[in-house]
């Protein structure tokens, strides 16, 4: 567990989660694994939704070793395949009649352009369209559950992103940086539009719409396997042996996961909140409410992205846009 520090939000301040079911995508490593481990330590039953079931089983075993008696299950989910997304949602519904918490954590970055089995650019498919579709297919299992939450993991890189509506899939020249930053901006726009469609509860315990709320978080700069496809200088800086030099720039996966955990369980969290390390840079530190970019809060762009996401995935949601005139 994270060390408790006066005035700072740590795992020790999180309430018990016994009796709750939490689904964490990409939970076999990094931020997803640490989030799942922390939730299991709070008593939640955790479903590790991962592309590689062998790695998911290994992660489940590590969580059980760390948290004796933990309820941990694995679910096959490849966000780059809409067929897999639908199959995973069907299996989840069969195994778990209710879902209290969905953490859309899985993501990636691809230095060279790749296209999925559905013919979609892989960064957009994995980081945005897959989570959009999976959330929409799981949502009915959450709407009647008091205190249920959808937490989507974005990045400080969203501030460098733009939504290229004229070429969302970079068919006219792929650049991995803009593709990744676009997808992380899309995560926030999805969260804000989803929150509006859920009816904008004024707090986690006082819902004016549905019982479910949508939030977002980012881990700052965390030392995870996420950077394994990045350039050598970036991979070098992410190595644990350089902590003495990069303590101000990078933090452990456990520290990064605290922002996700806070969005998931803090009783004071509200729909539409965004959590991450504090300060202007937001590289490291204990999680606080932070403000996302102005672009992420453009309601017209949010609705346009939502419509395009429905078109590309074929998934529509069982909730409507109930509050178009009010910003997130």
Q: Is the pLDDT of residue 328 over 50?
A: no
Q: Which of 174, 180, 274, 317 is catalytic?
A: 180
Give percent of the chain with pLDDT exceeding 70.
85
Six-digit token string for 203? 């707090």
Give percent of the chain with pLDDT exceeding 90.
80
Closest CA to 184 of 218, 226, 213, 150: 218
pLDDT range class, residue 223, cuts 50, 70, 90: confident
Q: How many folded domains does the chain comprise?
A: 1
Asked if the structure places residue 319 within a domain, the reply is no
Asked if the structure places residue 322 within a domain, the reply is no
Question: Residue 274 catalytic?
Answer: no
Across residues 243-267, what is the average pLDDT?
83
Across residues 283-290, what is the average pLDDT?
95
CATH number for the domain spanning 118: value is 3.40.50.720
Whole-number CA gyration radius for the chain: 18
- Specify the higher pLDDT residue, 141 or 280: 141
What is the structure's pLDDT at 172?
Answer: 95
Asked if the structure places residue 38 within a domain, the reply is yes
Six-digit token string for 251? 């933090």
What is the structure's pLDDT at 294?
Answer: 97
pLDDT range class, residue 327, cuts 50, 70, 90: very low
What is the structure's pLDDT at 20?
Answer: 98
What is the structure's pLDDT at 320?
Answer: 77
Asked if the structure places residue 324 within a domain, the reply is no
Backbone angles phi, psi at 83, to 5 degrees: -65, -40
- Comparing 85-89, 135-139, 280-284, 324-328, the range with the smallest average pLDDT is 324-328
Asked if the structure places residue 326 within a domain, the reply is no
- Specify the higher pLDDT residue, 174 or 247: 174
What is the structure's pLDDT at 226?
Answer: 59
Asked if the structure places residue 155 within a domain, the reply is yes
Backbone angles phi, psi at 273, to 5 degrees: -70, 155
Asked if the structure places residue 299 within a domain, the reply is yes
Closest CA to 38 of 4, 12, 6: 12
pLDDT range class, residue 231, cuts 50, 70, 90: low
What is the structure's pLDDT at 245?
Answer: 52
| Mean pLDDT value across the chain | 89
Q: Is the pLDDT of residue 203 over 80?
A: no
Asked if the structure places residue 113 within a domain, the reply is yes
The residue segments making up the domain with residue 140 are 11-226+253-313
Runs of H (alpha helix) within 104-216: 122-124, 130-138, 176-197
- Comparing 1-15, 81-95, 193-207, the range with the smallest average pLDDT is 193-207
Q: What is the pLDDT of residues 153-187, one digit of tens each?
A: 999 999 999 999 999 999 999 999 999 999 999 99
């Amino acid at each position: 567990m994270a060390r408790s520090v006066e005035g700072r939000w740590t795992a020790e301040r999180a309430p018990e989660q016994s009796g709750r079911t939490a689904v964490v995508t990409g939970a076999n490593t990094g931020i997803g694994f640490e989030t799942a481990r922390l939730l299991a330590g709070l008593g939640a039953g955790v479903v590790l939704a991962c592309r590689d079931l062998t790695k998911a089983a290994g992660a489940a075993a590590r969580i059980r070793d760390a948290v004796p008696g933990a309820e941990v299950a694995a679910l096959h989910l490849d966000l780059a395949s809409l067929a897999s997304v639908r199959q995973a949602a069907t299996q989840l519904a069969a195994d778990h009649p209710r879902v209290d918490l969905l953490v859309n954590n899985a993501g990636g970055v691809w230095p060279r352009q790749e296209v999925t089995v559905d013919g979609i650019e892989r960064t957009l498919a994995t980081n945005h369209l897959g989570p959009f579709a999976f959330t929409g297919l799981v949502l009915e299992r959450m709407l009647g559950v008091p205190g249920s939450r959808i937490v989507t993991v974005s990045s400080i890189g969203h501030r460098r992103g733009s939504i290229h509506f004229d070429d969302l899939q970079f068919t006219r020249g792929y650049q991995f940086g803009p593709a990744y930053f676009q997808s992380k901006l899309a995560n926030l726009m999805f969260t804000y539009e989803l929150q509006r469609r859920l009816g904008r509860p004024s707090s986690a315990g006082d819902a004016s719409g549905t019982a479910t709320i949508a939030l977002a978080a980012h881990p700052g700069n965390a030392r995870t396997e996420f950077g394994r496809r990045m350039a050598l200088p970036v991979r070098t800086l992410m190595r644990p042996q350089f902590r003495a030099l990069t303590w101000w720039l990078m933090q452990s996966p456990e520290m990064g996961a605290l922002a996700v955990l806070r969005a998931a369980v803090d009783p004071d969290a509200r729909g539409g909140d965004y959590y991450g390390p504090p300060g202007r840079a937001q590289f490291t530190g204990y999680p606080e409410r932070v403000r996302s970019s102005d672009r992420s809060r453009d309601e017209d762009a949010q609705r346009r992205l939502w419509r395009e996401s429905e078109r590309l995935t074929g998934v529509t949601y069982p909730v409507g846009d109930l509050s178009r005139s009010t910003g997130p």
